[in-house]
Chains A and B, each alone.
Chain A
Amino acid sequence: MAAEGKTIDALGQFELTPVLGKLGASVGFTQSTAHMLLAVGAITALVMWGMARRAVVPGRLQSVAEASYEFIQGLCLNQIGDEGKKFFPFVFSLFMFVLFGNLIGLLPFAFTFTSHIVVTFALATIVFLLVTIVALSIHGTKFFGYFFPEGAPKALAPLIIPIELISYLSRPVSLSVRLFANMVAGHVMLKVFATFVVLMGSAGVLGFLGASLPLALNVVLIGFELLVAFLQAYVFAILTCIYLHDAVHLH
C-alpha cells in the first residue's frame, strides 16, 4: 500500500474492508469489528488468565492485571469519591477497551479502531448518556440548575442557558474528537515517514543513507505513539470520572 505508484497514501490505512469472506461482507463484519473482538478477547484473557492462579506473589500477567485494576480503582476513588466504586466496572471496561484498541493498532498489519470517529463518538455517547442519567436519577429536576449558575442575573438567562447547554453537549464531541484526532494524527505521521523510507530507499545508495533519517524518526515516533496510546486511554477514563463526579456531586 505504501509505495504503490510512488505516492504517499496516508489515509488508506483507515479504510474498512470486510473480513471473513462472503459471510462477513453480508453482515458488514469489517476488520474494525474483528479488532474490537480481539481487544475484548485480549482484555478478558488478561484478567481471567492473570487472576486464575491468585498467587500471593504475583506473576507477570497477574501483576499487569492487578496494576490495571488498582490504577483504575484509584482513579475512580480519587476523582469521583466513595460513589466511584459503583462506576468502577464501567470505567475499567472503557479504559481497557480504548487502551487495547490503541495498543493493538500499533502492531504491524493491525487496525486501530479508535481512529474512527464513529467508534470514539459511540463510546463518548455512552459516557454522556450514563452521566446524564446518573445526574437525573440522583438529583431529579435539580439537575437542570446546572445550566443556570446561581446568582446570575435573570435577564441573562436566554443567553446563559443556551451557552451552558451547548457547553454541556460539546462534552461527548470533545471527548471523542480528542481520542480520534490523536490516533489519526499519529498513524498518518507513521505512515508518511514509513513511505519516505520506502521511496528514498529505492533511489540507490544515497537514497539509502537518506532513508535512515525517516526510519530513525519512525522509531522515535513509535515510542511516542505508545505513550499517546496510553495517555489517550487515560484521558478518556479520567474525563469520564470527572464527568461522573460532576453528575454525582452536582454543585
Chain B
Amino acid sequence: MPDSDDFEERLRKARERQGAKPTSPGPGQLPQGGTWGIGFRAGVEVVSALIAGVGLGWLLDRWLGTWPWLFLLFFVFGGAAGVLNVYRLITPRRAGK
C-alpha cells in the first residue's frame, strides 16, 4: 500500500468525494477544508502527540522511579511525533518514508 500511512490525506480525498453529497451543494470543504481547518487539524495533531508523549513519559517515570528524566525525554519524543503527524497530514499521498 503506497498511501497507507497518510490517513489524513485519504480523509481529505474521501471528504471531497463524499462530504459534499449529504450536506449542501458546495463541495464538503466548508469549515474544515480551508486554511483554518488545516491549521486546526495540525494543531490538534501536535497537541495530542505531546499529550501522549508526556503522559507516557510520566507513567514510565512513576513506574521506574526515574522522575523527571523519562518525562523530559518523552516530551521531546512527543514533539517529534507531533511533527511526524503533521508531516503525514500535509504530504500528498506518500508513505512516511
Could you tell me which A residues sit within 8 Å of B by CB distance? 67, 71, 74-75, 78-79, 149, 152, 162-167, 169-171, 173-174, 177-178, 181, 224, 227-228, 230-231, 234-235, 238-239, 242-243, 245-246, 249, 251
B85 & A174 in contact (Cβ 8 Å cutoff): yes
B23 & A230 in contact (Cβ 8 Å cutoff): yes
24 contacts between A and B (CB under 8 A): A67-B22, A79-B10, A149-B97, A152-B97, A162-B74, A163-B77, A166-B49, A166-B74, A167-B49, A170-B49, A170-B51, A170-B81, A173-B52, A174-B44, A177-B51, A178-B41, A178-B44, A227-B31, A228-B31, A231-B23, A238-B14, A242-B7, A242-B10, A251-B1
Residue from B4, B48, B85 having most chain A Cβ neighbours under 10 A: B48
Q: Which residues of A contact B82 (CB under 8 A)?
A: 170
Interchain CB contact (< 8 A) of B96 among A149, A178, A245: A149
Shortest CB-to-CB span from B33 to chain A, Å, is: 10
CB 8 Å contact bits of B27-51 with A (1 = contact, 0 = none)? 0101110000000010011011101
B47 & A177 in contact (Cβ 8 Å cutoff): yes
A75 & B18 in contact (Cβ 8 Å cutoff): yes
Could you tell me which B residues sit within 8 Å of A by CB distance? 1, 4-5, 7, 10-11, 14-15, 17-19, 21-24, 28, 30-32, 41, 44-45, 47-49, 51-53, 56, 74, 77-78, 80-82, 84-85, 95-97
B14 & A251 in contact (Cβ 8 Å cutoff): no
A174 & B48 in contact (Cβ 8 Å cutoff): yes
Residue from A162, A181, A245 having most chain B Cβ neighbours under 10 A: A162
Interchain CB contact (< 8 A) of A227 among B30, B51, B97: B30
Q: Known contacts A75-B18, A239-B11: does B48 contact A170 (CB below 8 Å)?
A: yes
Q: Which residues of A contact B95 (CB under 8 A)?
A: 251
Shortest CB-to-CB span from B61 to chain A, Å, is: 14
Interchain CB contact (< 8 A) of B51 among A173, A230, A231, A239: A173
Q: Known contacts A78-B14, A170-B51, A170-B81: does B19 contact A234 (CB below 8 Å)?
A: yes
CA gap between A178 and B78 in the complex, in Å: 18
5 closest A-B pairs by CB: A173-B48, A174-B48, A166-B81, A170-B52, A242-B7
Shortest CB-to-CB span from B39 to chain A, Å, is: 13
Residue of A nearest to B7 (CB): A242
Q: Which residues of B contact A67 (CB under 8 A)?
A: 22
Residue of B nearest to A173 (CB): B48
Q: Which residues of B contact A165 (CB under 8 A)?
A: 56
CA gap between A162 and B56 in the complex, in Å: 10
Q: Which residues of A contact B52 (CB under 8 A)?
A: 166, 169-170, 173
